Amino acid sequence: MARAALGALLLLGGVLSLRAQALAADRPLRIVAFGDSLTAGYGLPRNLAFPVRLQQALAAKGLMVEISNAGVSGETMSDGLARLDWSVPEGTDAVILELGANDMLRGLDPQVTRTALEEILSRLEQRRIAVLVCGMLAARNLGDDYARAFEPMFPELAAAHHDLLYPFFLAGVAGDRTLNQRDGLHPNPAGVDAIVAHILPKVEELVGEVREHQN
């Protein structure tokens, strides 16, 4: 009798586990786009901001994803660290981390940026949240020494935390007048779409990683 009861409990447990996995696979993945004005959509209508256009591109591929816009214009890496816990709520499956441009534009000490990035990745790792780290390049007028101190932190820390890396968030867009607003810094709608097209394969990889861990 005891063996029969134990067998029934094990069977029930297996059924419930499979049901939980099925529900996890059926619900949209929750991704937080965590960044600065490049994420927030500075100078653009809300429906043309990077997180919205990226979600639409993923939907066109048949991927169920909800991307929340946690971009704040003007923020540095340290600013992002200060609001990390409440900007990335419980239930988040993955984060697209896009910060560092303002650190570079202000010429902040790269070590300060690196320390903040390290802490952000450590906290997300502790919460078992997958991360796609978006790298940033230094403006050439800041000099080679600054670039050597600033640029490697993104690939190095992404590798150290086993996170995915997209080397340069503005790849194919930076410096192209046709893809940027008048300030030359923020992408226009065409520029946002170019960013989405370039980063899409890496985000698909991120989604695949999360789904694999859920099964």
Nearest to 78 by CA among 20, 137, 120: 120
Token pair in block for residue 106: 């202000």
* Alpha helices (H) along the chain: 2-26, 37-40, 50-60, 77-87, 101-105, 110-126, 144-150, 153-160, 189-214
Token pair in block for residue 86: 């409440």
Query: Residues 6 or more apart from 67 whose CB is under 8 A from it?
Result: 31, 32, 33, 51, 52, 54, 55, 58, 96
26 has catalytic annotation? no
Give whole-number Cα distances, 42 to 56, 69, 183, in Å: 19, 12, 11
Catalytic residue among 78, 93, 103, 186: 186
Catalytic residue among 37, 78, 93, 163: 37
37 has catalytic annotation? yes
Query: Residues 6 or more apart from 167 whose CB is under 8 A from it?
Result: 135, 154, 155
Contact between residue 94 and residue 131 where contact means Cβ atoms under 8 Å apart: yes
183 has catalytic annotation? yes
Angle between helices 50-60 and 189-214 (to 10 degrees): 60
Tell me the catalytic residues: 37, 183, 186
